[in-house]
Chain A
Amino acid sequence: MIRLSPRPRLSVVVVVFRMRAQAMNTLYSLSTAHQRAVRSSDYEVIVVENASDEMLDPAAVARLGPNFSYLRRQEPGVSPVPAINAGAELARGSQIAVVIDGARMLTPGVVRGILDAGRLARTTVVAVPGYHLGDRLHTAAAERGYTAAEEQLWLADLDWRADGYRLFTRCVLSASCSNGFLMPMAESNCVAVSRSLWQTLRGFDERFTTPGGGFVNLDFYRRAVLARSAVLVVLPGEGAFHQFHGGATTAHDHEAAVAEMRAEYRRLRGTDYSPPEVPGVLLGEIHKPAARFVEHSAAVLQVSA
């Protein structure tokens, strides 16, 4: 590990497992070449990769910027949770963000949005709404023969590196926030909390051991949002975009896998999962392609109000 200085304000922990192409897109999307209005000294990106037969090239990660560090580890289980907590152990920022699935690319205002949101209260939880690239959720897309190769070709054609907000032009809201971001969301696939809150929550709960960590991301989100004096900030103009990669909940046997995860949550928490019903403070610009999701979110809340 390379130790960087001075101390950044934000540490982003990204967990990677067998998704080289997708993870390199995600990591690029977190670099200062893509993130706007921030400097490499403002934040660090801690890449934690569990060993597989498709590993990242550490030199390629290092080339993304002086604020990137790379940790390779052997993971005996099937959950990313130990990797997340190992990455967070190295974090030096006053805010800690977790991207549990390294296949989630981020729009160019995410880092600035998290940093700014962190100024709004002593304890903040910052949520980036989740999307799936393409025309439908990836579980449904897989059934229609959608492939990672096809998606990567489309991304290259889109030239998303020139403007990351183009990702909004072809995507759907993730199932966890299908009602938009003005209604309670079930989780965020890029969630940042104040360091003190991370410590209070003792990070992600390692007792979640089902593939992909099961509901651990939902569990962490709920515990964070409902923590005493926490202020939830949602970035309505930004997104965490899932690339198709055969991850835990995007492959076949989806239903059975989710049932197992739900059962694990119930066993650990004594109840079924429900999204935390706390209205978020919105923060950020709305670039044109994102406006349709703002419209959708407003429409859903209007109907339910």
Chain B
Amino acid sequence: MTTATADRASTEELLAIAERMRAEGAAARAEATFPAAPKLSIVVIVYKMSRQAENTLYSLSPAYQQGVSADDYEVIVVENSSADPLGAERALAMGPNFRYYARPNIGASPVPGIIFGVESTRAPILGLVIDGARMVTPRVVRYALDAFAITDHAMVNVPGYHLGTDEQHSNPAHDEAAEQAMLDAVRWQEDGYRLFVISSYFRGRHQHGYLMPVMESNCLFCSRADYESIGGADIRFDMPGGGMVNLDLYRQLAMLPHVELFALPGEGTFHQYHGGVTTTADEGREDMLHAFREQYRELRGTNYRMVEREPRLLGAVTGWATPMLQFSAMERMRIYELLGWDSWT
């Protein structure tokens, strides 16, 4: 996989694209009618992953999410054109609170789609699932709303897992057929917490558990006001998959002094195999990650650093989710002991 393309747009062109996305998103927002007053808007970006996206969207549907109803939230599906489209019919079948937008592909990054999608939302709370291949557990929406019952400036991180026994990019044997067989075997639609049984924690970016700083969230909730105050997703992250845009968003939001960080210990996002940008075994992966880091340094003037803030836990923990809670607590003790710290403060 290559990381640079000959036809990459200039900064001026990218900013013009962002402006256009905002205008088109605003037009989409104006036409939305249901729910009348959503508390939460979740934007899901889909590209060339119809099977995976269908699972993800079902996991966000009112039929699967517990403790909430279709009136509480809206799901905005933004699909960039590809050879493996999900299509409106399959997306809209998930519930009356789903909206679907097929979009032409602009460059290799999901950021234009994110800008369009966020602009089309109506609720004061935003949820972002930048990679539509990430399924979630049944109380993600409930607990995200709960965090905002506590504070208007919550930021909610749902811990990330990979389906399969190892991280997908380091396990060539993990393919779509193997994954589908695993998903069928646990009948996750009946009890989404069974996804924990067929998964591994995504240690690459959260290697010490969620009680230590993490680099990003693949299912992130924040207030619209906070999202806008940092300028939202930066269109200049134009590399495949958006490069480090997701990490950048996470850091910028978590650095806001009034933001309160929450982690949902009993919930998870589960990455399905789909030949994604950084989650696939590929000999060019390291080169690409290097290019991502270079771009981040170019845009932010510094290397990426994790945000050292204490998360508050929120939510019930089923037996399935306890191994990671145990691991997170152990890592917390071990590392603090090593560093001689009591807290991040």
Contacts and interface: CB of A to CB of B under 8 A. Distances in A.
B336 to A, nearest CB: 4
A4 B330 CA distance: 45
Nearest to B314: A283
Contacts of A301: 317, 319, 322
Most buried by A among B318, B329, B341, B343: B329
Contacts of B318: 279, 305
B322 A291 contact: no
A286 B313 contact: yes
Nearest to A182: B317
Contacts of B336: 288, 291
Contacts of A305: 318-320, 322
B332 A291 contact: yes
A289 B325 CA distance: 15
Contact of A282 (B314, B328, B333, B342): B314
A119 B317 contact: no
Instruction: Kindly list the 4 A-B residue pairs having the minimum CB-CB distance in the complex, ordered from nearest.
Output: A305-B319, A298-B326, A295-B329, A294-B329
Contacts of A299: 322, 326
The DSSP consensus for interface residues of chain A is mixed
Contacts of A163: 342
Interface string B305-317: 0000011111111
A295 B333 contact: yes
A287 B343 contact: yes
Interface of B: 146, 149-150, 211, 265-266, 310-320, 322-323, 325-326, 328-330, 332-333, 336, 341-343
Given A120-B150, A301-B319, A283 B312 contact: yes
Nearest to B335: A288
B329 A291 contact: yes
Nearest to A234: B316
Given A285-B311, A305-B322, 18 more contacts: A116-B150, A165-B342, A182-B317, A280-B316, A281-B146, A282-B266, A282-B314, A283-B313, A286-B313, A286-B329, A287-B342, A288-B341, A291-B211, A294-B211, A294-B328, A294-B329, A302-B326, A305-B319
12 contacts: A182-B322, A279-B317, A281-B146, A282-B265, A285-B313, A287-B343, A291-B330, A294-B328, A298-B322, A298-B326, A302-B319, A304-B319
Contacts of B315: 281-282
A298 B318 CA distance: 10
B146 A120 contact: yes
Nearest to A284: B312
Contacts of A252: none
Given A116-B150, A120-B146, A163-B342, A295 B312 contact: no
Contacts of A294: 211, 325-326, 328-329
